[in-house]
Amino acid sequence: MDKRQETRTTDPCAKEADILWEDIAMCRYLGSGSRQAVVEGEVALPGGLREETVILSAQAMAVAEKSLPQTGRTDVDGKVIFHVLYTQGDPTRINTLEAAADFSQAIELTGARPGMSAPVSLTVEHVEASAAGGRLKLMAILKVYVQLFTEEPMHIVSGLRAADGLMQKTETLKTSRTSALGQQDVLIRDECELSEGLQITDTLYATATASVQEVMGGEERAAVSGTIELEVYHLSALPSRPLVVTRHSIPFEETLLLSGEGGDLLTADAVIKDVAVLSQEGQEEGQRTLRAEVLIGLTARMTRSRDICLLLDAYTTGGDMLLPTVQPTSRVLAQRSLHTAESGKMTLLLDGQPAVRTPLTATLRPILTDVTRSGGKLIAEGMMEVSLLYMTDDTPAPQAYRTEEPFRVSFACDLCLDEALTLQVTGVEAVSITSDRVEIKYILHLNCRDIALGQEPLICDIVRQPAPQEENGILIYFSQPGERLWDIAKRYRVSCDSLRRMNPVLEGAETTNGERVILWRK
């Protein structure tokens, strides 16, 4: 708990206040910035120019490769990896195509300078693919979100001494700074047997999410363990299901070298950078082995906390006035990478579409529009972009249906910075209810690089100024909203104790709006 003190110093020999300075090493949060980015790409389609091409679905994964603070901005470079399912010529045969497009964005951030830290989060909000003239045009809309931190020492006033009638308000504040850091890209490999009943003939592509469950370590190393959730798309020889999706959990445990000193708290996070899958026939008939390689970026951070007693305000009851210059400061108290998930469900009405016989797969992209808190829960609302692929009785060709549906999911968690969260969907299951209704169940993941902040402004300078002549007599003052006893005492340059003696009804440090305060000067 913070401890706040108000002290008075009377030294008849002192005429001026001596300023005590200190360079405080602390991690400070300078703010965040975001913008939408449109990333486009184009690639040649295999096959003949006259063959009709039908786009069935398009997915995209965004990867940040560099986040470099400059003066007043942060430059973010990365790439978007597209996966497109389509038919070409033969409407019954599903093909896949993978392509990548680079992007570069400049995010304006007041106070940004080279050498600062600017972690970035990317969210794919929309994906489009269209075919024309033997080429495939791709487009993705990203939300690029950047946070800005600095750990430069802050030159502030830590106290005053040797002044007549000096009144000081100090508080014990918690600060935090990064003491050690480790970053590493790790390639995780895994293989498993695919079920014979799925009759898989080829593996197309995969998507993945990563989460950290535990991080342990000391001054030089951090052991990071977690799970990769893999969703793999395959072609199948099943008569009614030419496309199947399998899901696999891949555990990982990696050791990162930490550069720096020991600290109090160790945290880590993981991001997916690339996914590659391949399946091969086994030695026995019907057997098929899936091989997966997932490139993840791991970051481990050791932080050290420190309690410091700092000057928050000061004035004198006589002589020259003290005029502190304050600087708004967002001190980082703690950082954490939060991951939680909740299940969701929706029902699609395919009005005017071919009748549904067998849903093949559904792709969901959440677009967050509002975040509220209620009863210890975080409620996320928005629109879900839905792409459904299914089979019908009328034709052996797969059918595609796209729509948007509202969603509302409640997470059992508490965040300090709501704007820092991102949402991702996994575990999508589509089931036909009737010929025109499909129920879709899914798991919505909430990820957040959350920050607990202390917001007290700190004094960066103090100047002296001659005080105006005070008139004797009785003065009546009515307190203003949010005004404290300290504020009134400072306004009229009296001690808090003398103000209480003149107003016995005043209790504690708070005042009520419009409360009458009497001051007597002679």
- When pLDDT is cut at 50, 70 and 90, the band that residue 474 belongs to is confident
- Residues in the chain, overall count: 522
- When pLDDT is cut at 50, 70 and 90, the band that residue 473 belongs to is confident
What's the CA gap between 447 and 175, in Å, rounded? 25
3-state class of 471 per DSSP?
coil
Q: Give the pLDDT of residue 20.
A: 87
Q: Report in angstroms the alpha-carbon separations of 352 from 401, 407, 435.
A: 11, 23, 11
Q: For a pLDDT cut of 90, what percent of the chain falls above it?
A: 63
Dump pLDDT digits (tens) for 427-463: 999 999 999 999 999 999 999 889 999 988 899 998 8
Straight-line distance from the first to the last Cα atom of the chain, in angstroms, rounded to the nearest whole number: 41
Nearest to 61 by CA among 176, 129, 140, 158: 140
Residue identified by tokens 């108290």 is 333
Q: Report the pLDDT averaged over residues 82-100.
A: 94
Q: Give the pLDDT of residue 16.
A: 58
Range with lowest mean pLDDT among 91-100, 187-196, 457-466: 457-466
What's the CA gap between 495 and 248, in Å, rounded? 69
Provide the sign of the torsion angle of the four alpha carbons 402, 404, 410, 416, taken in this order.
positive
Range with lowest mean pLDDT among 131-140, 154-163, 434-443: 154-163
What's the CA gap between 260 and 46, in Å, rounded? 52
Residue identified by tokens 């093949």 is 360
Q: Report the pLDDT averaged over residues 158-175.
A: 84
Dump pLDDT digits (tens) for 215-267: 998 778 999 999 999 999 999 999 889 999 999 999 999 999 999 888 888 99
* Beta-bridge mates of residue 103: 78
Cα 306 to its chain centre, rounded Å, is: 25
The DSSP line for 168-189 is EEEEEEEEEEEEEEEEEEEEEE
Q: Give the pLDDT of residue 510.
A: 73
**Mean pLDDT score of the chain, rounded to an integer?**
90
- 196 half-sphere exposure, CB direction, 13 A CA radius: 6
The DSSP line for 210-271 is EEEEEEEE-SSEEEEEEEEEEEEEEEEEETTEEEEEEEEEEEEEEEEE-EE---SEEEEEEE
Domain boundaries, given as residue ranges, for the chain: 469-522
Q: Judge whether 67 and 33 are in contact, CB under 8 Å.
A: no
- 69 half-sphere exposure, CB direction, 13 A CA radius: 23
The DSSP line for 474-492 is EEEEEPPTT-BHHHHHHHT
Range with lowest mean pLDDT among 32-36, 66-70, 506-510: 506-510
Token digits of residue 383? 């629109």
Burial of 237 from C-beta contacts in 10 A (0-12 / 13-18 / 19+): exposed
- When pLDDT is cut at 50, 70 and 90, the band that residue 408 belongs to is very high
pLDDT exceeds cutoff 60 at 12: no
Q: Judge whether 300 and 258 are in contact, CB under 8 Å.
A: yes
Nearest to 444 by CA among 365, 336, 362: 365
Q: Give the pLDDT of residue 17.
A: 66
Q: Judge whether 95 and 233 are in contact, CB under 8 Å.
A: no
3-state class of 2 per DSSP?
coil
Q: Give the pLDDT of residue 331.
A: 92
Alpha helices in 52-101 (DSSP H): none
Q: Report in angstroms the alpha-carbon separations of 475 from 182, 398, 519.
A: 62, 85, 5
Q: What class is the 469-522 domain?
A: alpha beta
Q: Give the pLDDT of residue 522.
A: 67
Q: Report in angstroms the alpha-carbon separations of 240 from 67, 357, 427, 435.
A: 47, 9, 21, 15
Residue identified by tokens 């798309």 is 233
Nearest to 360 by CA among 326, 398, 332: 398
3-state class of 420 per DSSP?
helix
Q: Specify the DSSP element, H or E, that contains 498.
A: helix 496-502
Range with lowest mean pLDDT among 3-17, 27-41, 275-289, 419-433: 3-17
Q: Give the pLDDT of residue 410.
A: 94
Q: Report the pLDDT averaged over residues 127-151.
A: 94
**What single-letter DSSP state applies at residue 133?**
T
pLDDT exceeds cutoff 60 at 1: no
What one-letter code names the amino acid at 393?
Answer: D
Do β-strands 200-217 and 221-238 pair in parallel, antiparallel, or remain unpaired? antiparallel
